[in-house]
Amino acid sequence: MDFLPTTLSAISASLLQGETTCVSLVEHSLSAIAASHNEINAFITTQSDAALARAKQLDSLSTTEKQSLPLFGVPVAVKDNICTKGLKTTCGSKMLANFIPPYNATVVEALEKAGAIIVGKTNLDEFAMGSTTESSFFGATKNPLDTTRIPGGSSGGSAAAVAAHTVPLSLGSDTGGSIRQPSSHCGIAGLKPTYGRVSRYGLVAFASSLDQIGPMAHDVVDLGTALSVISEADTRDSTHARKQFSIAPESYTQKLNTMVVGIPQEYFAEGLSETVRTAVNNTIEALKVNGISFIPISLPNLSYAVATYYIICTAEASSNLSRYDGVKYGLRASGATSLQQMYTKTRAEGFGAEVKRRIMLGTYVLSAGYYDAYYLKAARVRTLIANDFNEAFKQCQAIVAPTAPSAAFKFGEKENDPLALYLADIYTVSANLSGIPAITVPIKNASSPIGIQFMAPRWNEETLLRLGYAVQNIPRI
């Protein structure tokens, strides 16, 4: 069974009807991972023995037990900054290259409870800091649709794993667009839930007030199924709202003739490639046939979003990554003759260039004399940006935007220009700063993989899924 265009419901039906088995699906997945590894490098670690043992256990269940599991027998890939008990969680870094967590993240527990089978951990930019998956200690991931181009990041491995048909579903994390941007570049769908919808317990922190785990798949309905599973209540994360998501199957096909979607002028200004602009505008025109109304809106503080994001995320990264000092766990450099030298050598050897850059930026904006000028001001602008969205949502139920300013670019194209890479997040970071949900869905009639993005008020993922489903069902030309 090929995992494209097979949906999760089709996989479950095939299993329940006896057309295939969990063991066969896992063997197919592991074989596809091995066959594509040298070319794509989507996975850092796989667990064949554990996955096959789990598959055999699931195959032995009764029909009633199988039918009660929403992800029965589904092979799933998990981004390698999400803790998995007994399986390496490296964060794409030398610092944690041999770290094996003693516990599972809440989302991993939820997946297994729902009948999913974790087949491996996917590659990512080191500590999820990047937009290309080039900064991984384990080498860059390639875009399965064109291996000369980036898959996006930081969840590039998770996007590539789905796009390469090795798994039908993966989990990523999104701090400033790290689910949506690689999904767009790899031609799949990705969902960043409302901040607090999914527990972050077991997610290795990059920027705690921005990070959120979400699903990536070919099919929008699969995103809804996955979100309903991973959003289960959890008391171990103080930021988790314990609002489990659910959606009725008929919601996807309900008419959208009362839907009003805002088009922010700021998202369609200078810097957007004409290829993306044309593809997004054509999709908007196609959606009007469904009765969706599009109105112009303004988000006046959006121009400050990227600067605000990078001040806040680097500050939080500086704080979160201070725990990696060679004492508690992870890498410890050899040859140090003092405690201070051990700290210095460990962090110098264990972190890559991009992580060091962000730690230094974050330490600077938090330092005495600069906290008020940078971090505190960024926190205030963050509130202004959130208020802009709140005001906009009084006029519309969702907002449309490009996912990325261009299609996937070639490897090395922006290697020496970190500022250009940071600006690639221009259309995604505002959703993280505001804590609102956002989805990207591939545009069918585009000349290259391009995603269209929708954002909605907090806790309104259903609106996004319905819009995404409508995009997914636009006829090919």
Active site residues: 79, 154, 178
CA distances to 61, 112, 352, 471 from 277, rounded to whole Å, are 50, 41, 35, 16
Angle in degrees, CA 422, 463, 431, rounded to 5:
20
Closest residue by Cα to residue 281 from 298, 297, 294, 299: 294
CB contact burial 107-140 (16+ within 10 A = b; e otherwise): bbbbbbebbbbbbbbbbbbbbbbbbbbbbbbbeb
Closest residue by Cα to residue 461 from 428, 437, 442: 437
Closest residue by Cα to residue 133 from 452, 405, 354: 354
Sheet bearing 438-442, strands edge to edge: 43-46, 117-122, 75-79, 169-173, 213-217, 189-192, 438-442, 451-455, 398-402, 260-264, 293-297
Q: At what angle do helices 305-320 and 353-366 cross, to 10 degrees?
A: 100
Residue written as tokens 């023995």?
49
- The backbone torsions φ and ψ at residue 253, rounded to the nearest 5 degrees and listed phi first, read -100, 5
Radius of gyration of the chain (CA): 21
Q: Are strands 260-264 and 293-297 parallel, antiparallel or unpaired?
A: parallel
The alpha-helical segments, DSSP class H, found in 104-164 are 106-113, 156-163
Give the chain's end-to-end CA distance (angstroms, integer).
Answer: 28
Closest residue by Cα to residue 397 from 287, 264, 297, 261: 261
Q: Specify the 3-state DSSP secondary structure of 72.
A: coil
